Chains A and B, each alone.
Chain A
Amino acid sequence: MTAHPMTPIDTSVEDTRPLTFRERHASQIRQWRLYAHMFRKSFSSMLGLSLVVLFLLLAAIGPLIVPYPEAASGAINMSAKLQPPSSTYWFGTDEMGADIFSRVIIGARTSLWIGVVITGIAAIVGITLGIIAGYRGGWVRAVIMRVTELFLAVPGLALALAIVAALGPGITNCVLALAIVWWPGYVRLVEAKTLSIKEELFIESARSIGAKTPWILWHHILPNCMSPIIVKMSMDMGMAILSAASLGFIGLGAQPPSPEWGSMISVARTYMPDWWWYSLFPGAAIFLTVLGFNLLGDGLRDILDPRSRDR
């Protein structure tokens, strides 16, 4: 048992002047500075953050900075097909003569969209169901958790594969299928967290002052679930992009000429190994993006999850 490092605030000074912003928010400021400090100390977290920032930047302004923006919308140039990387085509060209660099960069936007939609839908559905299941208990919980376990018992990728195969290939179906298999993870996370938070005294305290269930869920349970949710969402951004790329690889992903990384590799793999650049760059893009989101999530877990917080 170590001494509590946080010294209680000095109660002796009582000031009557209005407090400045800095004083009013001293607690938050300190907290954020602590987070920043811990985050900065970890090389891998910073690497993750840099990769994610780079990725977001490319998604935002990618089409403006690439040399051949039309490459993403299906412009072909058969005379320049399968050119190796050069000063004209940084990452070489593909089988239709499109600039791979441009397609990879513009593809960031597609990937971001995929990640945000899948994670977003899954989180909204999963958190809602999880919090209800955890707080309500009884048959509501039994039904929700049974369905969740059912989904969890089937590996997501296999199920998504079946769904996309049924709905037909295409990026929208792909995203839809992945969202359908993704939410149970959130249910389980949030339900477990809610169950433990529900037992906390402050929930009883809120009930004792007459708070209604929605108020408790929104003001007490949800904020306390947020840390693991944020961590999971960060990781899932990466994993969703990876899964969508996997479906793209099987040939069920984005339709041409949309520059989706997985679909690019799906085509490019037939050009291995002599035209190695074709699959290397989209593959590296997936890898770095997913790595970035995962490292970020891992770093966030270290600072947000009190279990691993020891200073």
Chain B
Amino acid sequence: MLTFAFRKLLTLVGTMIGIAALTFLITNVAPGDPARLVAGPNATEDMVATIRTEYGLDKSLPEQFIVYMGELVRGDLGTSIVTTRPVLEEVMRYAPATLELVFVAMFLGIVIGVPLGMLSAVYKDGPLDQVTRIFSISGVAIPAFWFGILLQLMFSVDLEWLPVSGRLPLVTRPPEFVTGLLLVDSLIAGNFSTFWVSLQHIILPAIVLSFPCLASILRVNRAEMIEVLQSDYIVAARAHGISSFRIVALYALKNAMLPTLAMIGLRFGWMLGSTVLVETVFDWPGIGLYAVSSALSSDFKPVVGVTLMIGFFFIVANTLVDLAYAWIDPRLRKA
């Protein structure tokens, strides 16, 4: 178990360094000059040079890379040239918002996707199956940004049921910082009205984010359920008189959960990536929005930092999935 953890950790570190190198190189081949942006429109050449020197941009690319990797090993993600703050600090500030969104979306995806997948497997090729199939594939096919805007128009602008964007109303002060997740923090603080309004704010972006994920969870769960339901041990369970409900909801589901879990892990990373779009539409102050605004101002350290962070969460999620695998599947426990 210890060697397992150690190997995981080693892969994690290796992958992180790989991602850092990859994104650093990609973002730095561009001709863009962020220093000039920061210096302001009228800045003279020597003013731009001041900033370049301050952020080490006057060095050659390989030098910058070595410096960056050196900092990275020490846990320093560099400094954003636009906000002049350490990237790590900013990423940590924005990460809870993103995680909260992703958790809620993932929750929706699992809570709706798994049972629906189960039902359409049981009623395979029936009308319910056809409907969920089109519904779920619509989920993958719908452009998230477009869908988000439609929902905004419908529920916020037209019906005025839900707020247009943001995490909290303007005058509501965020609850005391514990986890950074407003839903959790407000409950800890015992402030139910804040909980309620932050729930209202998160619901639309979470739906948009969860829709494609829900779809693939549903598809995988359905496919696996169909296969498991045809497997020998299910036939045996039927032959031994176990009730259909128990077979489907316990025996088959547990087996079908393995690939579904893998999909959830995969989709977790995908969701983190999609926050780039959803957070833009809903002005959700998370790392996705931070990445987009940084990318648009050629401020690349935050882009690399966010990519790293997403990679990190993704790997962590997949490690958790691996552990869940071992927990569910006794055959893997010895490894």
Contact = CB atoms under 8 A, between A and B. Distances in A.
User: A and B: partners?
Assistant: yes
Interface of A: 41-44, 47, 146, 149-151, 153-159, 161-163, 165-168, 238-239, 242, 245-246, 249-251, 262, 265, 269, 272-273, 276, 279, 283, 286-287, 290-291, 294-295, 298, 307-308, 310
Most chain A beta-carbon neighbours within 10 Å: one of B141, B230, B300, B315? B141
Nearest to B288: A158
30 contacts: A44-B133, A149-B15, A150-B22, A153-B315, A154-B19, A154-B314, A155-B310, A158-B273, A158-B276, A159-B23, A159-B26, A161-B295, A162-B23, A162-B295, A165-B30, A165-B298, A166-B32, A166-B300, A242-B141, A249-B145, A262-B143, A269-B149, A272-B149, A273-B153, A276-B153, A287-B146, A290-B141, A290-B142, A291-B138, A310-B230
B137 A154 contact: no
B143 A286 contact: yes
A308 B223 CA distance: 8
B269 interface: yes
A166 B29 contact: yes
A44 B226 contact: no
Contacts of A249: 143, 145-146, 277
A290 B140 contact: yes
Interface string B1-32: 00000000000000100110011001111101
Interface in B123-151: 125, 130, 133-134, 137-138, 140-146, 149-150
Contacts of B27: 162, 165-166
Contact of B269 (A153, A250, A287, A310): A153
A157 B273 contact: yes
A185 B184 CA distance: 36
Given A150-B22, A153-B269, A246 B143 contact: yes
Interface in B224-238: 226-227, 230
A279 B149 contact: yes
A47 B138 CA distance: 12
Interface residues of B, number: 57
A251 B145 CA distance: 12
Nearest to B268: A155
B237 to A, nearest CB: 17
Contacts of B276: 157-158, 161, 250
Nearest to B312: A153
Most buried by A among B22, B29, B142, B143: B143
Contact of B292 (A155, A161, A163): A161
A277 B73 CA distance: 51
Given A159-B23, A165-B27, A165-B295, A287 B277 contact: no
Given A166-B30, A283-B146, A154 B141 contact: no
A150 B291 contact: no
Interface string B285-328: 00010011001101010011011001100110000000000000
B272 A155 contact: yes
B270 A155 contact: yes
The 7 closest A-B pairs by CB, nearest first: A155-B273, A290-B141, A166-B30, A165-B295, A283-B146, A291-B141, A150-B18
Nearest to A291: B141
Contacts of B64: none
Contacts of B298: 165
Given A155-B272, A166-B26, A265-B145, 5 more contacts: A154-B314, A155-B269, A155-B314, A161-B303, A291-B134
B280 interface: yes
Given A165-B298, A273-B158, A298-B133, A246 B145 contact: yes
